[in-house]
Structure 1
Amino acid sequence: MSITSEEINGKHAGPVSKQRGNRTTRVPEILEVAIRVFAREGNAGFTQRRVAADAGVRLSTLQHYFGSRESLLQSTIEEMGKRYLQRFRLLANDPQRTPEGRLEALLDETFDALTGSDNVISPFALEVWCLAEHQSSVRDLMVQVSGDFQEVFGRVVAEINPALAHSECRLRGALIYSHWQGLIVFMRRSGQNAPDVVAFRSATKVVWKALSNASQ
């Protein structure tokens, strides 16, 4: 999934004053930039002032919509989770694909995002997971997001292998999701030990399909 913003892609020399907007247009613009600031600068560098500057809006304007740094951070994390959850649900429910085709589409979406030049998922996710260790509101949000993603994978498993009990589908959905989380870390940190991406993608499809198709 591509998340673009002219303000942070080098298309101007500095912040540009934008025309006055309303909540419907302004909040998504601010969150778009906030996602990238958090991914690029981490929690330590995530400030309202930095987001406002990168978004080309006055600090007072940003604070009108997000009264505190904590409010902006929470909304930013929620927005990132919502975007990818919506995308995964669309792929998981695609009537033009077979159940196995939907699982492949979820994996392809993952690899495309993690190997793309504009990858924000990996740094964003790693920062959020670290933050969740020390901040209860983020930890609670991650529990909710984790459950939602496990449900998506579990439902696809149930469609691929309808003979499985509901509890078994949930378990395998959790296994695939845990592997999905592991991919985020591994592909970010493996460096020179990273395998060939094409071969690694193909092998991962084999693993996911095997988890889905195996009998109980």
Structure 2
Amino acid sequence: MFSEASRAESLFERTASPREKKRVQRIEEIIETAAMLFVRDGYAQFSARRVASEMGISLSNLQHYCGTTENLLLAMIRAKIEVFVTQFVEIAQNTAMTPEQRLIEVIEQDMTAALDPWIASFSFQSWALAEHDKAIGDHLKAIYGEFCRVLSTLIREVNPQLTVPRSEIFATLIASQIEGLLFYNKQIGALEQHWKETLATTLHMWLLMIRAG
């Protein structure tokens, strides 16, 4: 089954002109370079000018594709963080699996991402930037809010007796604990040695909590 994003991408590949495809490819190259600099040098050193310099193009050329530094940052966060939530929404809607299977799949994929040190670094820089940039902060709140909504909906499907507030509390606890694991793994490698056991233990703990209500 193809997702809406997959179908849109497939349609674009069939119908877009060579010029349109080249433009999309250029934007993707800019976003990849921007993300690399964002992680390598930190949010405080980030600017569209530095991205343009890294790519060997003029600032005006970069702005032609991505607009302001703020627009570039938002595009980068969509590509590197929001994409995960889009995948989670697709999993949550896959009725070929039971609600519990869907919930486990979402959690496992999110925890796998938490194990990636690059994703951790990108997330840390994004959160730090959000402290100083309201637009970025609002966008990150929307992304994480949607993730909690996906979890909360799945939790209520697993245990229909749960109230909405209770399922939202459980969703927030699970999401925040995954983020905490992301921090510990990045800073001290806490997950790497016992990754499978950590995943199994946390899943068991959360499922017991949800089933018990």
- What range is the shorter-chain TM-score in? 0.7 to 0.9
CA deviations on 1:110-135 (whole Å, 9 max, x unpaired) are 2322334xx43200111111122222
1:41 CA drift (Å): 2.5
Deviations 1:124-172 (A, max 9, x none): 1111111222222222122212211110110110111011122222221
CA deviation after TM superposition for structure 1 residue 59, in Å: 3.8
Contact 1:158 1:169 in 2 (8 A): yes
Cα separation, partners in 2 of 1:192 and 1:145, compared to 1, 3 Å = closer
Paired residues for 1:113-152 under 5 Å: 113-116=113-116, 119-152=117-150
Distance (Å, rounded) in 2 between the aligned partners of 1:193 and 1:120: 15
1:93 aligns with 2:80: no
CA distance in 1, matches of 2:42, 2:115: 20
- Which segment is superposed worse, 176-185 or 146-155? 176-185
- Residues 115, 143 of structure 1: alpha-carbon distance in 2 compared, 3 angstrom cutoff: closer
- Aligned residue in 2 for 1:108: 108
* Counterpart Cα distance in 2 of 1:129 and 1:86: 20
Q: Which residue of 2 aligns with 1:184?
A: 182
Greater CA deviation, 42-51 or 130-139?
Answer: 42-51
With 181-190 and 25-34 compared, the bigger mean Cα shift is at: 25-34
CA distance 1:25–1:207, change in 2 (3 Å): same
Q: How does 1:135-174 map to 2 (within 5 A)?
A: 135-174=133-172
Instruction: Provide the C-alpha distance between the structure 1 equivalents of 2:155 and 2:210, rounded to a whole number of angstroms.
Output: 5
Partner secondary structure for residue 67 of structure 2: coil
Query: 2 CA distance for matches of 1:20 and 1:162?
Result: 47
Aligned to 2:201: 203
Partner of 1:69: 69
Greater Cα shift, 88-97 or 157-166: 88-97
| Letter of the 1:79 counterpart | A
Corresponding position of 2:43: 43
| Paired residues of 2:115 and 2:191 also in contact (CA < 8 A) | no
Is the CA contact (8 Å cut-off) linking 2:184 and 2:190 kept in structure 1? Answer: no
Q: Any unmatched runs of 5+ in structure 2?
A: 1-18
2:111 touches 2:178 (CA, 8 Å); kept in 1? no
The answer to whether structure 1 residue 31 and structure 2 residue 48 are counterparts is: no
Deviates more, 1:51-60 or 1:205-214: 51-60
Identity %: 30
Provide structure 1 residue ranges, at least 5 long, that are not aligned to the other structure.
1-18
The secondary structure found in structure 2 opposite 1:120 is helix
1:78 CA displacement: 3.2
- How many residue pairs end up in the alignment? 195
> Which has the higher mean CA deviation after the structures are superposed, 153-162 or 63-72?
63-72
Specify the SS of the correspondent of 1:44: helix
| Structure having the larger proportion of residues in helix | 2
Which residue in the other structure is 1:81 paired with? 81
RMSD: 2.6
Contact 2:38/2:122 (8 A) holds in 1:
yes
How far apart are the structure 1 equivalents of 2:57 and 2:87?
A: 29
Kept in 1: contact 2:38–2:46 (CA 8 A): yes
| Structure 1 residue matching 2:44: 3-state secondary structure | coil
Equivalent-residue separation in structure 2 for 1:193 and 1:35 (angstroms): 24
